[in-house]
Amino acid sequence: MQTKTILLINSEPNVQESIQDSFNHFCGWQVLKASSPHKGLQFATQAEPDAILFDISTTGMDLFAFLTQLRSQSITQHIPVMIMAEAKWLHADLLQEFAIAGVIDYSTAFTKFPQQIAQFLNWDKNQ
């Protein structure tokens, strides 16, 4: 089975490590960590991850500017993006307009993130 690679865009080192540990332990996914959206765009172009998990609280560029830049490049426009947020303001039309694969509630335990991501992307979490 091919190992999945997730690009995590989050500015908090402790959160990055916790998510990375969870993904590695529960499903063997590799995690690329970017501390800013600008670095995330660079990593997305260079590594072409299977998916991106964007923490909406990460500063440096808002989500919609990030998505606009990501979708404007042929090499990255196909990468599914999920966001981590307590975003009750995100409605289905907005998610569809920006091709957001799903929203993971930040209050959910990190150990449940792989299951949610696999569900959003129709992956077997052990892939």
φ, ψ of residue 86 to 5 degrees: the values are: -105, 65
Euclidean distance between CA atoms 66 and 62, whole angstroms:
6
Instruction: Examine the pLDDT at 1 and tell me if it is beyond 50.
Output: no
Q: In the prediction, which pLDDT does 88 show?
A: 64
Three-state DSSP at 117 gives helix
Of 2-6, 27-31, 107-111, which gets the smallest average pLDDT?
A: 107-111
Euclidean distance between CA atoms 50 and 122, whole angstroms:
12
Q: In the prediction, which pLDDT does 33 show?
A: 97
Beginning with the edge strand found earlier in the chain, give each strand of the sheet holding 100-105 in spatial order: 30-34, 5-9, 51-55, 81-85, 100-105
Instruction: Examine the pLDDT at 3 and tell me if it is beyond 90.
Output: no
Mean pLDDT within 104-118 = 85
- Its pTM stands at 0.90
Per-residue pLDDT of 62-80, as tens digits, reads: 888 999 999 999 999 999 9
Q: In the prediction, which pLDDT does 89 show?
A: 64
Write the CB contacts of 71 (distance below 8 Å, at least 6 apart in sequence): 77, 98, 99
- In percent, how much of the chain has pLDDT > 70? 93
Mean pLDDT rounded to a whole number for the chain: 88
